[in-house]
Structure formats: structure tokens, C-alpha cells
Amino acid sequence: MTTNFDPEHAPVFERIDSYEEWKRDEGVKLHGGLYIKDLYTLELEYWPRKGVNGAVVYLDGDEETDEHVLEIGPGGKTNPERHMYNEVIYVLSGRGATSVWYDDTRKQTFEWAEGAYFSIPMNAWYQHFNGSGAEALRMVSVTTLPGMIRKFITPDFIWNNPYVFPDRLVADEGWASGSGAMHKGRIWETNFVPDAANMPMPGWGERGAGGTNIMLSLADNTVSSHISEFPVGTYKKAHKHGPGAHLLITGGTGFALVWKEDDMSDMVKADWQRGSLYLPTQDSDNEYFHQHFNSGATAARYINMSPVNSRKYAFKRGVNDPTKQAEIRAMVSIKEGGMQLEYEDESRRIHEIFEEELRKHGQECRMKNLVPWCTGVTGPENKKGALQAYG
């Protein structure tokens, strides 16, 4: 036992990052950076834990979350797995099925295809299967693994914990039937979204440019996702917040602008397409403005794949106060204490960048009735609440 209490001659106290240690020891392909331009062509390698090819992505701005990409070969399957972290999953391509269970004599298996979106119940066993004997499939998930393993340190607690959450996976067949219930605020409560890339959504005029949106409460987990779409030749109002959002583009072509400084001197432009994934922040310690622009020939749609901040369960004090709810503050001008930058308050530089990109893509700006200095034509109005058709 040491009795030397002199800190000047003591060894350096080592700080350990349990998540970085896990990544180092996992034997999996790793990716990072500002964003992933194309998940469909992202380089993968064999991932022993999963039993298929895969990769772990840890983007700039990630803190308590990361992203996992899997490719299952023709007729293949993943290893059975359970874990003590949240995970939301989107099927990028292909068709197949997932079995989920707490009791292996009462497995539930549901089929899915490209565009499906779902969340595995906490610590339930699950296994993915490729339903095609000829083509590989890809899926991407966002997880709360980094935060959980940093809290509990021991990997065995994360992957070999026997606790069963009896209220998370009902025993009746049909847990993932795709049925659900709509609540005020455009909140769709369900366990399984069969086609998130095309599902109909109510209008969300408050966010600008005739966009549509639906908020998701999935699998009774503490996850909070939403889907948004906006028309050709338009862009959404800018707003700012900290980390947590993971935006997966499921349709369309466009770009995002991200900045923190008032003079926009640090602005980053991220071009996106179907299969792009980005975070609207560049680090985990600051709030950033970000804005989404559709410069392509079709409507642009994205999923905010957020596995944190449940809409159903309180995650901090005051969440029942509407003035503190992010989805409400995102519709309120920063001049009134919200998070949103109104069109008339944005820098003209933003609109100039948009019109230049439209010219490159042979498209016309449709923001004349929303942005005073627009040189294009009148476009959609900000109608609220109307249900939009598929496509």
C-alpha cells in the first residue's frame, strides 16, 4: 500500500474511454468524418459479433450515439443478439425478416422490405434474415451504445444481461403488424413502419415551404424519430440545436448548410442524395444552425433517426412544458425564444446559394411567395395539417 501523497511525484491518472476501447477490440471496419455521402457504397468488412459484413460509424458531433451498417448476403442471417442499448433500424435495400423474442419458444417473426423502419425492444433477442437467395441487403441503425458502455464500462453488462423488460414485447403475435395510433402533434405510435420512404404524412407548414412531417414513437422504447418531406425547388427554415439528430436521406437530391457563427464564416455545405447520413452539428458541445435544401427533380425526404429523447417518457425536468419541447420550439422564431430562423431573417447569401444550386440541376426556385428576394416563381403555400398522398 502506497503512503506517498505527493501529487508532484505520482504517476499520471489514466482516463479510459470504454467506447473507444470497445471499438478497438471489436474487430470491425470503422468510419468517421462530417457525414457519409452514400451508405449504399460504404466500405464494409466482416464483423464477427454480427456474423455478416458491417461497419461502425462515429461521426463528428456524435457523443452518446453511433451508427451501425450491415450487409447480409443472399440467403444469409445475422448472429442472434441482445443488448442493453436502444437501436432504430432502417432497411436501405433488399427484403427479409426479423425474429424477436425474450422467450425462445415464443418468437415473433415479421417481414420487411426496403424502406422499413423499426426499433428492437430493449434487451430482446433478435436475428435478421435475408429473404432473397440472389441479392444482398443493407440496413443502417443508430444506437445509444457509446453512452451506455461509457456509463457501465463492462461490455458483459451490455450484451449478456439477463434482465427481461416484460412491458416491451407483448406475447401476442402481430407485435410488428404495422398498426398504430395517431396523436395530436402528428405523433404516430407504433412498433413497425413498413415503408417510411413513402408513408403519407400531415402538413407541417410552420417549418416552411409546404413540407409534410410525422413524429414517431417506436416500440415503447425511449427513442424519438421523425420523417419530413419538402417539395421540388424549396427549402426548409433554418433552426438550431445541439447533437442527437441523425438525418438519413430516403429520397431526393439536395444539400444542407450547417453553421454556428453569426457571420456564417464556419459554414459547411453537405451535398446529399438517397442514402446519405449526416448530423446537423459539427461537435457535441455547441448548438448549430442547419437548413435543408431540395435542388433535385423530386420531393426530398429524410428520417431523423434519433434513438434518444422519448416523446412518451420524460427524459428531463419540464418536458411537459410546451415552451421547452424541441419539436415545438423548432416552429417558433428565435426572436420569440424558439429555435427557428424565419425566411425574412436569414442571410441573403443562403438564398443565393440555393438558386445557384438549382441552376446547376436545371431546376427553378419556387420560393417567390416566401422569400422576398427570390428570383424564381411562386411555389407551395404553408398549408397546415392536410394529409399528403404517397410519392
Q: Residue 190: what residue type? A: T
Q: Is 212 exposed, middle or buried (0-12, 13-18, 19+ CB in 10 A)?
A: buried
Residues of the chain below pLDDT 70 = 1-3, 171-173, 242-244, 282-285, 307-330, 381-391
* CB atoms near residue 180 (< 10 Å): 16
* Residue 138: its H or E element: strand 137-143
Quote the crossing angle between the two packed helices 145-152 and 18-26, to the nearest 10°: 110
- pLDDT at site 335: 84
CA distance 105 to 311: 32
DSSP state letter for 336: G
3-state secondary structure of 203: strand
In the chain, the domains with their CATH numbers are 210-360 (2.60.120.10)
* Residues in CB range of 232: below 8 A, 6 or more apart: 294, 296, 297, 298, 299, 363, 366
- pLDDT at site 283: 65
- pLDDT at site 3: 65
CA 304 from centre of chain:
4
CA 386 from centre of chain:
25
- Which triple of cell numbers denotes residue 170? 407483448
- Which triple of cell numbers denotes residue 71? 450487409
Instruction: Give the predicted TM-score (pTM) of the model.
Output: 0.90
**pLDDT (tens digit, 9 = 90+) per residue, 198-226?**
999 988 777 778 889 998 988 777 777 88
Residue that is written with C-alpha cell 451508405 in the block: 39
* CB atoms near residue 249 (< 10 Å): 23
DSSP state letter for 55: E
Q: Is 161 exposed, middle or buried (0-12, 13-18, 19+ CB in 10 A)?
A: middle
Q: Is 121 exposed, middle or buried (0-12, 13-18, 19+ CB in 10 A)?
A: buried
- pLDDT at site 385: 43
